[in-house]
């Protein structure tokens, strides 16, 4: 149990510190946004680029892990989307709810958590999971939202908007550039490697503090329904699906199997909330999903760590 506390406490302590700094006024209302910009544009891209640039294709291409993690998040997304549509909810709003139920916080919580639990080698599965979440899941949700908002404008226009949004995302571009560098066979120059290492080391703590700042922001008022089913899908259904595939079907190597379970059990990231805000949709439900799943994951992740013979 002490090992679980040693792993979970530092991660959630950083989130709590961000929460306290915002609530006590030590960091202002723009703190979450500005720190998030650093993480998205500098910290995480540097980390993702350096990992891919110094890895081989054989190390990253793990079809069993990719299938187990992708089926877990995409299965929950598809189920939630269909269920919401059956309730006569607009496609754009149903897509945001589905994203909230399946969007694992692999970048902000997953990378530091898995590295603390499994060592630096866990950065590879965490990075692969992040690419799946950002490049596949988020792209599908974005396409669904665009389709719902611009029905009748044509598939090619929607595809162009989605592709453009992804190609402007530094979390997508960084690993792609890293792959090109790895393919060249060149070693990273020492000054560049040092710069990337410094930026990458700052990514995890800044991401967690930024998440705490975000959670400390006032929640939208009024009664909000349908939050807890989305939280249950994220914290219970998704890790159960992934566990079954990773441990029972594919029997993945220990590092990749443990990483798949922990990464699927993560709380909802802030991506769905940002997407809702960007499109001017009702964000109260998804913001509460982010908050409650983050708090609930303190319990579910601890259970996973207790059950895993680490």
Give me the pLDDT at residue 99, please: 94
Give me the pLDDT at residue 151, please: 61
Give me the pLDDT at residue 37, please: 82
Give me the pLDDT at residue 155, please: 63
Burial of 111 (0-12, 13-18, 19+ CB in 10 A): buried
Instruction: Return the ∠ at Cα 239 (arms to 238 and 240), rounded to 5°.
Output: 90
Give me the pLDDT at residue 209, please: 87
Exposed e or buried b per residue across 252-273, where buried means at least 16 C-beta atoms within 10 angstroms of its C-beta? beebbbbbbbbbbbbbbbbbbb
Whole-number Å distance between alpha carbons of 119 and 61: 19
Tell me what percent of the chain is helix, strand and coil, each rounded to the nearest 5: 80, 0, 20
DSSP string covering 220-243, please?
A: P-S---SHHHHHHIIIIIHHHHHH
Give me the pLDDT at residue 154, please: 63
Residues 6+ apart with CB under 8 A from 236: 300
Does domain 2-307 correspond to CATH entry 1.10.1840.10?
no
Q: How far is CA 46 from CA 57, 58, 61, 105, in A?
A: 19, 22, 21, 18
Give me the pLDDT at residue 101, please: 95
* Nearest-10 crossing angle of helices 63-86, 123-131: 40
Q: How far is CA 269 from CA 90, 133, 180, 238, in A?
A: 22, 10, 28, 14
Give me the pLDDT at residue 5, please: 67
310 residues of the chain, pLDDT tens digit each: 555 666 677 878 888 899 999 999 888 888 888 887 888 889 888 887 887 888 777 777 889 999 999 999 999 999 999 999 999 899 989 999 999 999 998 877 888 889 888 888 888 899 889 888 877 898 888 888 877 876 656 667 767 776 776 677 787 788 889 888 988 888 889 999 999 999 988 887 887 888 788 888 776 666 778 899 999 999 999 999 999 999 999 999 999 999 999 999 999 988 888 778 777 777 788 888 988 998 898 888 888 888 887 6
């Amino acid at each position: 149990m002490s090992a679980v506390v040693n792993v979970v406490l530092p991660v959630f302590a950083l989130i709590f510190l961000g929460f306290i700094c915002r609530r006590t006024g030590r960091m202002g209302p723009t703190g979450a946004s500005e720190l998030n910009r650093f993480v998205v544009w500098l910290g995480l891209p540097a980390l993702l680029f350096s990992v891919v640039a110094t890895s081989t294709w054989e190390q990253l291409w793990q079809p069993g892990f990719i299938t187990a993690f992708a089926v877990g998040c995409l299965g929950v997304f598809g189920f939630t989307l269909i269920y919401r549509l059956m309730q006569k909810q607009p496609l754009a709003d149903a897509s945001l709810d589905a994203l909230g139920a399946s969007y694992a916080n692999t970048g902000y919580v997953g990378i530091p958590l898995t590295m603390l639990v499994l060592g630096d080698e866990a950065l590879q599965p965490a990075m692969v999971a992040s690419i799946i979440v950002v490049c596949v899941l988020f792209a599908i949700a974005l396409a669904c939202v665009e389709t719902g908002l611009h029905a009748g404008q044509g598939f090619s226009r929607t595809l162009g908007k989605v592709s453009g949004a992804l190609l402007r995302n530094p979390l997508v571009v960084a690993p792609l550039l890293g792959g090109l560098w790895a393919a060249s066979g060149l070693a990273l120059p020492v000054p560049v490697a040092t710069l990337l290492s410094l930026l990458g080391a700052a990514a995890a703590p800044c991401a967690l503090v930024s998440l705490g700042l975000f959670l400390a922001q006032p929640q939208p008022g009024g009664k909000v329904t349908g939050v807890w089913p989305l939280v249950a899908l994220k914290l219970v259904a998704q890790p159960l699906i992934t566990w079954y595939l990773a441990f029972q079907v594919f029997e993945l190597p220990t590092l990749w199997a443990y990483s798949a379970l922990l990464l699927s059990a993560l709380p909802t990231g802030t991506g769905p909330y940002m997407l809702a805000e960007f499109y001017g949709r009702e964000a109260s439900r998804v913001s509460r999903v982010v908050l409650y799943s983050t708090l609930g994951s303190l319990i579910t992740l601890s259970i996973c760590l207790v059950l895993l013979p680490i």
